[in-house]
Amino acid sequence: MQRVFVLSFVFIILLVALSWGGGQKEAAIEVKTVTFWFPGGAGQEEYFNNVGKEFEVTTPNIKVAPTVLPPDSKDIDSKLNAAKLAGIFPDVFSAYLVFMGTRGALGDFEVLDPYIAQWPDKSDILQSALDLGRYKGETVGLGFFPAPKLVPYRKDFFREAGLDPAEPQKAPTSWEELADWGRKLTVRDASGNVTRAGLDIPSSTPATVFIEPWMRQNGSMVIDEINLKPSWTDPGAVEALQFVANLYNENVSIPHNLQQWMEHPFSKGNGAIGFLLASVLVNMYNNDPALKKEIGYIPVPERKKKVSFCGYRMFTIGADSGVKEESWEFIKFMMTDEQMWKRYQELKIAPVRKSLQERFIQDDPAFNESQIEYIQYGKGKAVTPWTTIANKYLSQAYEEALNRRKTARQALIDAEAGLLEELKKFEIQ
């Protein structure tokens, strides 16, 4: 027995000694390496992993080292935090819009304005791709992957309900019309349970992505990005939340969590009108190609303002990066016509170049036109350092209003007060 132990110990020590070495030393000076981190998964990895190799062919003295991240933003944050602490923050990072605020405010990203100013292609880039990545007036991210949230509807369900599956021109342009359709399209069983939702109104947190466009359409700023304050108690926001809460309590939806996109009633064929990201629709069509012809797209509703929700993924350069010029070269490569169109063909990512819009529409008229409209009028998450905390309070107000614990007005007043108090408590501004 003793011998077994001793032998094992020796074995272990040998192993440790062997694995002690290894790891990467600094690369030779001639070749620079750009580390490229991107949230991937489900088919996107191949493209992003390979694009590095394509770039290397054109620029032999720059290498690209890609790392795929899991898509959950909390996982990404964990990894980025560890990297920041250890000084290995990625040179190029494909960031979610929300990071512009949370990390941009902390100086994680290099300011891109000097690079963009010298870039001839910049006039060909959609305005939103250039604008949405700004924090306090400085560009910290360049949008390349728009994520608009469309309003698709099922033409076959409309027909079943005896309604005309109207063309987009005759589609509802006001909230009241939308609500009316929702009511007429809801199907219930004998005991009153909803078996087909008229409208997909999410019941659980975090639902800020859902409620914010309604508030903005009604004239609210939601977040005052200039003064960096919440604006939840203005009449526009209150009325919007009350409207949605009332509609929810008319039982026109099936409970679901907004973030589980594939579990939305519409995604599963249990809903008539949905609020879905374009990428979710792409996935639905992949799984069931026959579905596509039965889906139409409602244009951006217009109330006081014409606004939709559109997130973005942006390219950023690490502020501490030692290879900023090279990183910018890589980003420019990713933004060329060829790469952008390739991304569209392989991954169905909408191109952000004005010159490609024609081709984009022609390739898939109904779907892509809707995407363009929603991108054009799109506003994503506000860019502030405390977006995640604000989400918490707004989601709470949303749930309280929907569950009739408080009126929309009271819920939003409490939420705004709570947020301001917490910001003061933790001295975040």
Partner 1 sequence: MFVSRRRNRINYDPVGYLLITPFYLFFLAFIFVPIVINLLLSFTKFNLRTIDFIGLRNYANLFTDSFFLISLRNTAIYTSFTLIFTMLLSLLAAVFLNQKIFGKSFFRTCFFLPHVTSMVAVSMVWFWMYEPSHGVVNKALGLFGIQGKLWLYDVNWALPAIIIMSVWKYIGYYMVIYLAGLQSIPGYLYEAATVDGASAVQKFFSITVPMLRPVTFFLFVTGVINNFNVFEQVRILTDGGPMNSTTTVVHQIYIRAFTDFLMGYASSQAFLVLTIVAFLTLIFFKYGQRGVDTEVV
Partner 2 sequence: MIVTVVMGIFSLIMLFPFLLMLLTSLKTMKEVLAPRFILFPSELVWHNFAEAMTRGNWPRYFFNSVYVTAITVIVSLLFNSLAGYAFSRLRFRGRDMLFLITLIGLMIPPQVNMLPVFVILKNIPLAGGNNLLGRGGTGWLDSYMGLIAPYVAGSFGVFLFRQFYLNFPKALDDAALIDGLGKVRIFFRIYVPLSTPVIATLIALKTTHTWNEFTWPLIIINSDKMKTVQLALTAFKAETTVEWNLLMAATTLTILPLVITFLIAQRYFIQGIVTTGIKG
Which residues lie near partner 2 (CB under 8 A)? 1-2, 5, 8-9, 12, 15-16, 19-26, 39-45, 67-68, 70-72, 75, 78-79, 81-82, 85-86, 88, 261-262, 267-270, 277, 279-280, 283, 286-288
Question: Containing H/E element for 392?
Answer: helix 387-402
Residues 50-79 that bind partner 1 (CB under 8 A): 73-74, 77-78
Q: Is 312 helix (H, G, I), strand (E, B) or coil?
A: strand
Indicate the residue among 292 and 405 with the shorter CB distance to partner 1: 405
| Helix boundaries (H) for 194-323 | 208-217, 235-248, 278-287
Residue 2 binds partner 1, judged by CB under 8 A: no
Closest of 84, 99, 198, 188 to residue 141, by C-alpha:
99
88 binds, among partner 2, partner 1, none (CB under 5 to 8 A by kind): partner 2
Residues 103-122 that bind partner 1 (CB under 8 A): 106-107
Cα–Cα distance between 420 and 325 in angstroms, integer? 40
Handedness of CA 69, 75, 76, 79 (dihedral sign): negative
Residues 6+ apart with CB under 8 A from 427: none
User: How far apart are CB 396 and partner 1 at their closest, in Å?
Assistant: 7
Distances (CA, A) of 257 to 235, 249, 279, 406: 27, 16, 17, 21
The one among 308, 399, 412, 416 contacting partner 1 by CB under 8 A = 399
Indicate the residue among 123 and 193 with the shorter CB distance to partner 1: 193
Please report the beta strands in 155-208, taking only residues with DSSP state E, as ranges in sequence order.
187-188, 194-199
Residue 85 binds partner 1, judged by CB under 8 A: yes
Cα–Cα distance between 289 and 370 in angstroms, integer? 19
One-letter amino acid at 14 equals L
Residue 249 binds partner 1, judged by CB under 8 A: no
Angular region, 36: left φ>0, alpha ψ -120 to 50, beta rest: beta
Q: Is 151 helix (H, G, I), strand (E, B) or coil?
A: strand
Indicate the residue among 11 and 426 with the shorter CB distance to partner 1: 426
User: How far apart are CB 425 and partner 1 at their closest, in Å?
Assistant: 5
227 binds, among partner 1, partner 2, none (CB under 5 to 8 A by kind): none
Task: Please enumerate, as own/partner, the contacts of 46-50 that have beta carbons within 8 Å and a separation of 24 or more.
Answer: 47/342, 47/343, 47/346, 47/347, 48/94
165 binds, among partner 1, partner 2, none (CB under 5 to 8 A by kind): none
64 binds, among partner 1, partner 2, none (CB under 5 to 8 A by kind): none
Which residues are 297's β-sheet partners?
152
74 binds, among partner 1, partner 2, none (CB under 5 to 8 A by kind): partner 1
The one among 32, 313, 343, 392 contacting partner 1 by CB under 8 A = 392
Using CB under 8 A, list all residues that contact partner 1: 73-74, 77-78, 81, 84-85, 102, 106-107, 193-195, 203-206, 254-257, 259-260, 263, 386, 388-389, 392, 395-396, 399-400, 403, 405, 418, 425-427
